Structure 1
Amino acid sequence: MELELRHLRTIRAIADAGSLTRAATALGLAQPALSAQLRRIEHALGGALFERGRHGVRTTALGELVLERTRVVLPAVSELQREAARFARTRRVGQRLRLGGTHGPLLGALVDRLADAAPGTTVTTCASWSERELAELLAEGRLDFALTGTCGSAPPPDPPHLVWEEIAVDPVFVMLADGHRLAAEPEVDLAALADEEWACVPGDGCFADCFTAACARAGFTPRRMYETDTASCVHLVQVGRAVGLCRATFPPTPGLAVRPLAGTPLMWRHLLGRHPAGQRQDTADTVLAQAREAHAGAAARSDSYAQWLAQRRPDAPDDVRRPVPRHPLRRLP
């Protein structure tokens, strides 16, 4: 009998279960059938892998050797299967792209732009508040690209082997009700909002900690923070319940005034993530270019962002609604 992967999985299951009875249940086999299979495996390997006792099984020295190899072989085969699936998808040009994204206007804008740039492509989307969840979906091959971001210069989400490319870096602005006492100001000092309650969309990066630190530098501790979806944040601001934190590209919304924070205490870095084996390079280049154009379009539609940019670009021409300067394509650690 030649050893097969299913035999290694059987050995792993017996070792994990600690008994043939429990392993048979986990594998959906009758115990006599599992015992017979184990005997054949042991014969093929040249010796006993387990010592049987009243309280279960224990691995022999040979069994430990084989188990050690399974810890390398089985994950390697699983990764090979995932890589093969990704490679096969790259051959099916123009058929399907799976995009993930956090809250914000860029995901919808990117889908819209790809409809023109790649008309033969079916685009599906997956939205999540969790940057880490999106990164895991990329690593598992369940997404092709993910639009997400980090606070300031924080590193991208953790899974290894992913490529993260920068789309743009924006200041964080504040949303105020039209009738707020500071709504007519060209910019708002964070310290002037010390007595306010706050609204923000949730996330699992460091933004909450960075915001708290910025408030501490301004001399106060923020009061209650409502973490909820974008529509609910907008409602809480419109009715005067809270002031909201938002990216500078937040679209014009009735009942809201979006203003920069004096001194720009918080920044947000937009990122596009992918697995290097997930798509062809020309496809990746197209998606990145369209994501940058989507961001530029969102920035151009924001009066407050256009004014903020103009103040920091004294040599800019009168038309400040052109796409904002984009960061060069680069890989991030």
Structure 2
Amino acid sequence: MELEVRHLRALCAIADTGSLHRAARQLGVTQPSLSTQLRRIEHELGGALFVRARTGCRPTPLGRLVLSRARPLVAELRSLVSEARAAAVGGRQLRVGSTASRALAGWLRRLRRHWQEPTLHMDVSANALLRMVADGHLDVAFVHEVEGSPLRVPEGLRVRVLVQREPQFVCLPADHPAAAKPSYASPTWPTTRWMIDPTVDGEWDAVRRVLRAEGLDPRILHGDYHTAASLVATGEVVTVVQPTSPSRAETAVRRLHGDPLGVRLLLAARTDTELEGVYPDLAEAYGEVARQAPAYREWLERSGSGALVPALP
């Protein structure tokens, strides 16, 4: 087997996410195929590159050596492709990374007023996005940091807080008894099946921590956002969502009683100039979606936190 750039990219993804499962999700492949590819790479290079354990994957000494050479090569190739595409359309494109957010569409719409069509890279892992900014693969990244699970911010990155604490809400089936109330209280939690995306940095630990604080042994299923949304609609599960998420005919978004779950919203870039150049548009876009979410707006007005949300009158 001849080593190719895609193999180096896979090694970097495994190292960045610390997990074959999360790396496979990031690369858009199945975990078994990534495991097979890793074994072939290790056979070609003559030794194990990662130690596999229940807590994840970490590089061996050989793995660290290979990664130290692989990262610059992958970064250079990405820069080459990005610069070539920008030159082809007559200007520099802003490379944006983001975890899922309702504010993203409005932010991109506003950025188009100042830039060529921005490129967008979505990832459930905030840590992976921050690393991509530090390595020069992205210009800016909009991420969330779950309480109790601090992000690994690479040295030298500039970070600005958009919202210090955004409460996390729940999405319920529309016919759930709690859907008729303004909040989802803990007495109903013991009978709830929760669905959490384990690839979202910190979310699994945060939900488990909150439920165990109530003396509950949580029944938690694993699934991505799309799977969770469909199962909520059929009444099978309840899932944690951003407060800007809209209710639909078959679902209802409600706050968690006591607001036990929260995240910090951050914007990261390599320089203050890059950061300040895009922050106002993001703040305006976030304020727009906050105003459009009835449950969140009610929470902001009730808690007196409206001033903490950018552009919210």
Equivalent position amino acid for 2:104 in 1 = L
Q: 1:288 aligns with which of 266, 275, 279?
A: 279
How far 1:326 sits from its partner (Å)?
A: 3.7
Unaligned 5+ runs, structure 2: 1-43, 46-64
How far 1:107 sits from its partner (Å)?
A: 2.4
Q: Secondary structure at the match of 2:308?
A: coil
Equivalent position amino acid for 1:104 in 2 = S
Kindly indicate whether residue 230 of structure 2 is the aligned counterpart of residue 235 of structure 1. yes
Unaligned 5+ runs, structure 1: 1-24, 27-70, 317-322, 328-333
Match of 2:244 in 1: 249
The runs of 4+ residues in structure 1 deviating greater than 6 Å are none
How far 1:191 sits from its partner (Å)?
A: 3.7
Per the normalisation by structure 1, the TM-score is 0.63
Match of 1:110 in 2: 107
Q: Distance in 2 between matches of 1:224 and 1:155?
A: 22
Residues 131, 154 of structure 2: 8 Å contact kept: yes
Residues 170, 267 of structure 1: 8 Å contact kept: yes
Residues 191, 219 of structure 1: 8 Å contact kept: no
Q: Deviations over 1:224-262 (max 9, x none)?
A: 32321x232211101001011011111333311110111
Q: 1:101 aligns with which of 93, 98, 115?
A: 98
Q: Deviations over 1:117-146 (max 9, x none)?
A: x1x422000111112211221111010011
Larger radius of gyration: 1
Q: Distance in 2 between matches of 1:262 and 1:231?
A: 25
Q: Using a 3 Å threshold, how does the CA distance of structure 1 residues 191 and 150 change in structure 2: closer, same or farther?
A: farther
Q: Secondary structure at the match of 1:146?
A: strand
Q: Using a 3 Å threshold, how does the CA distance of structure 1 residues 326 and 302 change in structure 2: closer, same or farther?
A: closer
Q: Distance in 1 between matches of 2:202 and 2:106?
A: 26
Kindly indicate whether residue 150 of structure 2 is the aligned counterpart of residue 159 of structure 1. no
Per the normalisation by structure 2, the TM-score is 0.66
How far 1:154 sits from its partner (Å)?
A: 4.3
Aligned residues: 233
Residues 197, 204 of structure 2: 8 Å contact kept: no
Residues 160, 275 of structure 2: 8 Å contact kept: no
Q: Distance in 1 between matches of 2:222 and 2:203?
A: 14
Q: Distance in 1 between matches of 2:291 and 2:91?
A: 30
Q: Distance in 1 between matches of 2:172 and 2:128?
A: 31
User: What's the RMSD between the two structures over aligned residues?
Assistant: 3.0
How far 1:190 sits from its partner (Å)?
A: 2.9
Q: 1:311 aligns with which of 282, 302, 313?
A: 302
